[in-house]
Amino acid sequence: MATNLTPLEELFYQECLKAGNNGLTSTDFGGIHPDSPVMDTAIAMNSLLGRGFIEVFQVRGEQVYKALKKEEIGKAGALQGEEQVVYNTIRASGNEGIWTKHLKSKTNLHEAVIKRCLRALEQKALVKAIKSVKHPTRKLYMLMELTPSVEVTGGPWFTDQELDVDFVEQLTNQCYKYILMKSFPRDASCIFTSTHSAYPSAAMVRKYIMDKRISQVDLSVADITMLLDVLVYDGKVERFIAQVDEDWDDEDMDTDSDWVYKAVRDKKAESAWQDCPCGVCPVADFCTEGGPVNPAGCNYYNKWLDF
């Protein structure tokens, strides 16, 4: 970057950079080089502002100046007035992007002005229009070089703003099959002992999915965990902490990596009524004290109680 700044401007810029996100007020600037006359300070500050080295914000009624990093300077520096304001506001929205309605209220510029600036900025390839999955009809803008955040694009689950239901379902099924395979021994009538701990974690499921190349896009552990959560909420899979030692604390609970997943086998609907003879007795309605069929002389009970 060509630094054709005067020594005073350079000094101010460096001090402002050092101040980081807190920025400097005009009084601070005055204090940097107390010997120089107020006029020079003002000129230097204006020059830096005009060329885009620093920008000004309103905080609690005061004006605060923050320095722009070197990479950001080149682009905005060449812009004039309103375009610069619009560009800076868009830049401040990072990779979330900003809606034109918010752009209007933040810059207080008229709609026609904003439209013109956006068109100019688009032509200069400084900003681009994007769509959000949460608000598909809003017009959002962000800097050209940034990638939209996951909030905006929806991540791997969305293709062209639409939830790819087939993809999600297919993947979830594959995850379930893998977990099922690992949850029960070959012989389907047995289960593992309570000390068995080789249940798959989210990371292991991810490795399996990636190895099988089921998905064309790269999926992170967090993405897989989302799918596993779906299985948990559907009641197909349960999750628990694999190894609990004596000194395990509640505070240790935040890492996702401690969870392992086990498939849930359909529990037979069991109830105590099946065990006791009355529950399955064909004449239960007919049975009464003192009648032809009664509890005292019940054959089923005699058999049941005859160990």
Give Cα 35 distance to the centre of its chain. 51
Q: Which of residues 142-171 bind other proteins (CB under 8 A)?
A: 161
Nearest to other proteins of 137, 194 (CB atom)? 137
Nearest to other proteins of 104, 124 (CB atom)? 104
Q: Is 111 in the site for other proteins (CB under 8 A)?
A: yes
Binding-residue pattern over the window 126 to 145 for other proteins, x denoting contact by CB under 8 A = -----x--xxxxxx------
Q: CB pairs under 8 A, 24+ apart, for 171-176?
A: 171/209, 171/214, 171/215, 171/219, 171/227, 172/227, 172/230, 172/231, 174/209, 174/212, 174/214, 175/205, 175/209, 175/224, 175/227, 175/228, 175/231, 176/231, 176/236, 176/237, 176/263
Task: Name which position in 3, 4, 27, 105 contacts other proteins (CB under 8 A).
Answer: 105
Reduced to 3 states, what is the DSSP secondary structure of residue 267? coil
Phi first, then psi, for residue 292 (nearest 5°) are -60, -35
Nearest to other proteins of 96, 229 (CB atom)? 96
Instruction: Specify the stretch interacting with other proteins by CB under 8 A; choose among 58-66, 192-200, 211-219, 254-262.
Output: 58-66
Nearest to other proteins of 36, 100 (CB atom)? 100
Q: Is 295 in the site for other proteins (CB under 8 A)?
A: no
C-beta of 117: minimal distance to other proteins in Å? 14
Q: What is the DSSP letter of 201?
A: B
Nearest to other proteins of 45, 98 (CB atom)? 98
C-beta of 136: minimal distance to other proteins in Å? 5
How far apart CA 46 and CA 190 sit, in angstroms, is: 79
Q: Is 50 in the site for other proteins (CB under 8 A)?
A: no
Q: Is 100 in the site for other proteins (CB under 8 A)?
A: yes
Q: Is 57 in the site for other proteins (CB under 8 A)?
A: yes
CA angle, 86 then 92 then 95, to 5°: 110
Q: Is 98 in the site for other proteins (CB under 8 A)?
A: yes
Nearest to other proteins of 88, 201 (CB atom)? 88
Q: Is 60 in the site for other proteins (CB under 8 A)?
A: yes
How far apart CA 56 and CA 26 sit, in angstroms, is: 10
The one-letter amino acid code at 82 reads E
Q: Is 110 in the site for other proteins (CB under 8 A)?
A: no
C-beta of 125: minimal distance to other proteins in Å? 18
Q: What is the DSSP letter of 269?
A: -
User: In 3D, which of 133, 179, 178, 173 has the Cα closest to residue 157?
Assistant: 133
Reduced to 3 states, what is the DSSP secondary structure of residue 57? strand
Q: Is 116 in the site for other proteins (CB under 8 A)?
A: no
Q: Which residues bind other proteins (CB under 8 A)?
A: 21-22, 57, 59-60, 66, 89, 92-94, 96, 98-102, 104-106, 111, 115, 131, 134-139, 161
